[in-house]
């Protein structure tokens, strides 16, 4: 029998595929406290039978589920299934779940890039369900809210793309076909720093404490999978080609992402009040906070919460715009945004189960 929430409504039955990584445990943390959701299954072929709380001791006394083999998880009895898996897994299981009436939120890349050729280039595998891809919606709520409400399949955005697209959207969108853009869309720069959980929970030497602590470095300068994802979204907003240089860095913190975005202001736009533009754009957004002029956001101000904070600078009143964006890469950059999508897809209040205040200090 279904569990019911305080109002007596049946709770949403939730399945998670691949719950042993960081986005998996974060989904568990968020959903175990969600007033309208009920965890029904969490799969891991390797850990079949292991109580989830034995792997993640923060869940002791909170989550009683055991990992189950995908074969036995009865995911088709869920209302929604989250894929917290490597790329390619959601593709393989999507059709069967849809046929059973189950909605899908994929935290990997299977339903992010609309251009399958680009997907195949960067993820080194063929896209096996282009028709599902076509119906899927890119789950950046602040851009695609209405489409998400009606989606059966959502591709949850990557962590870097969430910050970069939210930081540039007010500059690009809604300009119309004949209007000049506010900034030079050919010379955009995204200089980003990520906490180490962004690299996942993989047994790899370069993300050992002894390697990543007290250290800072760029990586993927020659090419990163999130680059085409960001560009595809920016081009949709702009309505034309966009040129972006993207340099991600690894910084010694557990959670948190900071993006410093650079855009050249067009001569025609020199009189624009960019602070006001951003404030207006995000005035009604529950999870986007435009900081007062002159203040800078810090990653810990959103630690363990679903908030994004943005600051807008124009140093010395010149032509270079500098946008600062912070998020928790595991929450708004992954699992929190996934829950936000779920809320929309099921007609729940968008912030249900997402009211956590950031943990500071």
Report, in Å, the least distance between residue 110 CB and a second copy.
24
Please give the order of strands across the beta sheet that includes 153-155: 67-68, 37-43, 12-17, 80-83, 103-106, 153-155, 137-138
Check residue 64 for interaction with a second copy (CB under 8 A). no
Report, in Å, the least distance between residue 174 CB and a second copy.
25
Total residues binding a second copy (CB under 8 A): 89
Q: Token match 């691949």: residue?
A: 18
Give the Cα separation of 258 and 121 in Å (integer): 27
Pick the binder of a second copy from 68, 197, 306, 335 (CB under 8 A): 197
- Known catalytic residue: 129? no
Site for a second copy in 29-58 (CB under 8 A): 29, 32-33, 56-58
Q: Which of helix, strand or coil describes residue 228?
A: helix
Report, in Å, the least distance between residue 71 CB and a second copy.
25
The interface region with a second copy, picked from 36-44, 100-108, 163-171, 294-302 by CB under 8 A, is: 294-302
Give the Cα separation of 195 and 192 in Å (integer): 10
Q: What are the structure tokens assigned to 156, written together? A: 């949850």
Site for a second copy in 240-269 (CB under 8 A): 243, 245-247, 249, 251-256, 258, 260, 262, 264
Pick the binder of a second copy from 15, 16, 22, 105 (CB under 8 A): 22
Q: Which of helix, strand or coil describes residue 83?
A: strand
Check residue 59 for interaction with a second copy (CB under 8 A). yes
Check residue 187 for interaction with a second copy (CB under 8 A). yes
Pick the binder of a second copy from 4, 45, 60, 121 (CB under 8 A): 60
> DSSP letter string over 55-96?
H-GGGTTT---BEE-GGGS-GGGSSEEEE-SSTTHHHHHHHH
CB count, 10 Å around CB of 125?
Answer: 12
Which C-beta is closer to a second copy: that of 152 or that of 356? 356
Pick the binder of a second copy from 97, 237, 304, 338 (CB under 8 A): 304
Which C-beta is closer to a second copy: that of 117 or that of 357? 357
Q: Which residues on neighbouring strands pair with residue 321, listed in sequence order?
A: 263
Buried b (16+ CB within 10 A) or exposed e, 74-102: ebeebbbbbbbbebbbbbebbeebbeeeb
Site for a second copy in 199-238 (CB under 8 A): 199, 201-205, 207-219, 221-223
Which C-beta is closer to a second copy: that of 96 or that of 254? 254
Q: What are the structure tokens assigned to 263, written together? A: 């855009």
What are the catalytic residues? Answer: 159
């Amino acid at each position: 029998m279904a569990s019911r929430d305080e109002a007596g409504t049946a709770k949403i039955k939730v399945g998670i595929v691949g719950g042993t990584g960081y986005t998996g445990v974060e989904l568990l943390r968020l959903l175990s406290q969600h007033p309208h959701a009920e965890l029904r299954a969490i799969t891991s072929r390797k850990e079949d039978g292991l109580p989830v709380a034995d792997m993640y001791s923060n869940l002791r006394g909170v989550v009683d589920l055991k990992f189950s083999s995908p074969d036995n998880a009865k995911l088709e009895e869920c209302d929604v299934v989250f894929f917290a898996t490597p790329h390619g897994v959601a593709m393989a299981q999507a059709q069967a779940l849809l046929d059973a009436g189950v909605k899908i939120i994929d935290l990997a890349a299977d339903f992010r890039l609309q251009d399958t050729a680009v997907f195949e280039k960067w993820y080194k595998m063929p896209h096996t369900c282009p028709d599902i891809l076509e119906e899927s919606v890119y789950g950046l709520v602040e851009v695609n809210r209405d489409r998400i409400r009606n989606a059966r399949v959502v591709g949850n955005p990557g962590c870097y793309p969430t910050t970069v697209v939210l930081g540039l959207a007010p500059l690009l969108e809604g300009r119309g076909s004949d209007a000049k853009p506010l900034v030079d869309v050919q010379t955009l720069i995204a200089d980003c720093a990520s906490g180490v959980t962004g690299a996942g929970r993989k047994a790899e030497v370069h993300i050992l404490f002894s390697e990543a602590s007290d250290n800072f470095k760029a990586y993927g300068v020659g090419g990163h999978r999130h680059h085409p994802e960001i560009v595809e979204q920016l081009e949709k907003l702009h309505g034309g080609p966009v040129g972006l240089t993207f340099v991600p860095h690894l910084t010694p913190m557990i959670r948190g992402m900071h993006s410093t975005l650079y855009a050249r202001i067009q001569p025609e736009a020199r009189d624009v009040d960019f602070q006001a533009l951003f404030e207006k754009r995000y005035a009604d957004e529950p999870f986007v906070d435009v900081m007062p002029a002159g203040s800078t956001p810090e990653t810990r101000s959103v630690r363990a919460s679903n908030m994004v904070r943005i600051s807008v600078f124009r140093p010395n009143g010149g032509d270079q715009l500098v946008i600062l964006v912070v998020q928790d890469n595991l929450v708004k950059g992954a699992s929190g945004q996934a829950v936000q999508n779920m809320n929309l897809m099921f007609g729940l209040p968008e912030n249900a189960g997402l009211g956590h205040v950031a943990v500071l200090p």
